[in-house]
Amino acid sequence: MYLCIMKRIVYALSVAVFMAAGASAQAQSKEFTLGQWVELHNAILKELNRSYVDSLEVGRIEREGVDAMLGALDPYTMYVPEEEQEDFQMMLSSAYGGIGALIYKPETDGNVFINEPYANSPAAKAGLRCGDQILSIDGVSTHGLTASESSEKMRGKPGTRVTFKVKKVYTGDTVEVKVLRERIVLPSVEYAGMLDSGDGYIMLTKFTDGVWRDVRNSVMKLRSKGMKRLVIDLRGNGGGLLAEAVNIVSLFVPKGSVVVSSKGKTPGSNATYCTSTDPVDTEIPIVVLVDSGSASASEIVSGALQDLDRATIIGTRTYGKGLVQSIRPLPYDGQIKVTTAKYYTPSGRCVQAIDYSHRNEDGSVGHIPDSLTHEFKTLHGRTVRDGGGITPDFEVKPHKYSRLTYSLVLGGIVEQYALDYVMRHQSVPEDFHFTEFEDFVAFAQDKEFDYRSTARAMFDQMRGTLKEDGLEEAMMPQLDALQKALEMDKATFLSLKKEEIVPFIEEEIVVRYYFQEAGIRIRLRYDEQLHQALLQPSITLP
């Protein structure tokens, strides 16, 4: 017996030593591989610098090399050199120093138009309005400047002044306007208001520093107006700060509730985030609207509220970004934003939809198949799944717009018409209804844009393929007949799609008189997905 026990001890120790040796060898192997590639990289660079036939732009090729290396990991890990820090911080905080206005510059040799001043911005306070033309900026003519160069001259340190020579839109007078630059913070809560007598609505577009306070204040104001149900709109919200997502969830669930956890390679990246403040309201029914553009922090909020059975999630499946990024310092005042962990909802779900660690032969990445997803349970026992974003409790699809409408909006035709309209009309009512569609058609007739229907675009693609295959000539009679049937002149097609084009025109026009909130109210007027969502029942719990 004693001998048998000794043999077991010796065997166990041997296994332990073997495993330790294996782990040590693996670590050494990784360190050796890293050192090998660092040495090889330096040797290649030195040889190129010594032997390459042309002058070597070391900075350019090194930056391209770094970007390519990081791009092989995931889209969110990136290098930020010192000269790009300001733009990077603006992206994180949605803030910059300037006058607070969007501009439009149709021609390099033309003037700059004020397109849309922000509410309470320095531009608005100085009396600049849509349609005003900027002739010069601090004595420098805007003729010959690009839109980007003009915008850059308008920006500057908060507290400094910029002087414009302005041709006023309605009087035609040329005046000098001095504007005191401020720190312009683009709001993350773009709109909060009552949809009807009982439904409060908050549109949250980003998770920037302190936004949870704006959400809290909005909830308090809506409750004072008689809100009986809250709609939180996270559609198109690509995320932001994890801490803000946790703080927003804390407004609606008991103190101490788990919101999200992160798991990574290093001990510092493993954490569980719980609510640490008393909630504002744990009883009011909540609807959270999501879509394929709702990502990251949006998925933390919607996933947590779903797992805790605190809200009804409505819309379409979210993006599926379950990766956490951290910012680390680098030499020469650079930074790296690096993916350090994956996050998990209270039920244990990871909503990451794409596996970047295993790429296909062509370099593409695949989504996690449904067969590899797992079931999890919410606080009250409802079944939810991981592996592909947050699946809503009720699917409500958005309105599908025609190819023509996308072309008009993305091609800037509607925006150009709005500017033209404002220059011809000194005022419109805030509850604006557009009734001059024939005027828009006449305006659009003279503009270059792709007005083909989806069917016609597909036909053109098919005809091109047939030509490449040498089959077009043999099928010419049938192709000509089909093309004739699909042809529709620009004015006819515009009139056919009037009902879906008009809301975009109304929104673009009204924001130029009453700022963004008025435009959002117009948008909500036509929001079919929102209206259908409000008809869905709330999740009932045992």
Confidence of residue 172 (pLDDT cuts 50, 70, 90): very high
Rounded average pLDDT over 216-231: 98
What's the pLDDT band for 485 if we cut at 50, 70, 90?
confident
Digit-coded pLDDT (tens) for 153-166: 999 999 999 999 99
Asked whether residue 210 carries a pLDDT value surpassing 50, the answer given is yes
Whole-prediction pTM? 0.86
Average pLDDT, the chain: 89
Answer whether CATH 3.90.226.10 is correct for domain 189-395: yes
Residues of the chain with pLDDT > 70: what percent? Answer: 92
**Domain at 95-185, CATH homologous superfamily:** PDZ domain (2.30.42.10)
pLDDT digits 0-9 by tens, 421-479 = 999 999 999 999 999 999 999 999 989 999 888 888 898 898 899 889 898 888 998 88
**What is the arithmetic mean of pLDDT over 242-269?**
94
Catalogue the active-site residues.
296, 307, 321
For residue 52, pLDDT over 80 is answered with yes
* DSSP-assigned beta bridge partners for residue 324: 341
- For residues 317 and 280, give the distance between their C-alpha atoms in angstroms, rounded to a whole number: 28
CATH 3.90.226.10 location in the chain: 189-395
Lowest mean pLDDT segment, chosen from 14-28, 96-110, 297-311, 340-354:
14-28
Phi/psi at 56 (nearest 5 deg)? -100, 120
List, in order, residues 6 or more apart from 468 with CB less than 8 Å away.
none
Query: Is the CB of residue 376 less than 8 Å from the CB of residue 348?
Result: yes
- Report DSSP state, residue 539: P
pLDDT band at residue 503 using 50, 70 and 90 as cut-offs: very high
Confidence of residue 34 (pLDDT cuts 50, 70, 90): confident
CATH 2.30.42.10 location in the chain:
95-185
Task: Count Cβ neighbours within 10 Å for each residue of 77-88 and write b for 16 or more, e otherwise.
Answer: bbbbeeeeeeee
Is the pLDDT at 488 greater than 50, yes or no? Answer: yes
Burial class (CB in 10 A: 0-12, 13-18, 19+), 342: middle
What is the reported pLDDT for 26?
57
Query: Which pair of tokens denotes residue 195?
Result: 């949809």
Q: Specify the amino acid at residue 55.
A: S
pLDDT for position 16: 46
| Strand residue runs (E) in 112-264 | 112-117, 133-137, 140-141, 161-167, 174-180, 182-185, 189-194, 199-204, 229-233, 258-264
Residues 38-53 as b or e (16 or more Cβ within 10 Å = b): eeeeeeeeeeeeeeee
d(CA 450, CA 453): 9
Of 411, 399, 416, 406, residue with least CA distance to 508? 416
pLDDT band at 362 (very low <50, low <70, confident <90, very high): low
Burial (CB < 10 A; 0-12, 13-18, 19+), residue 294, is buried
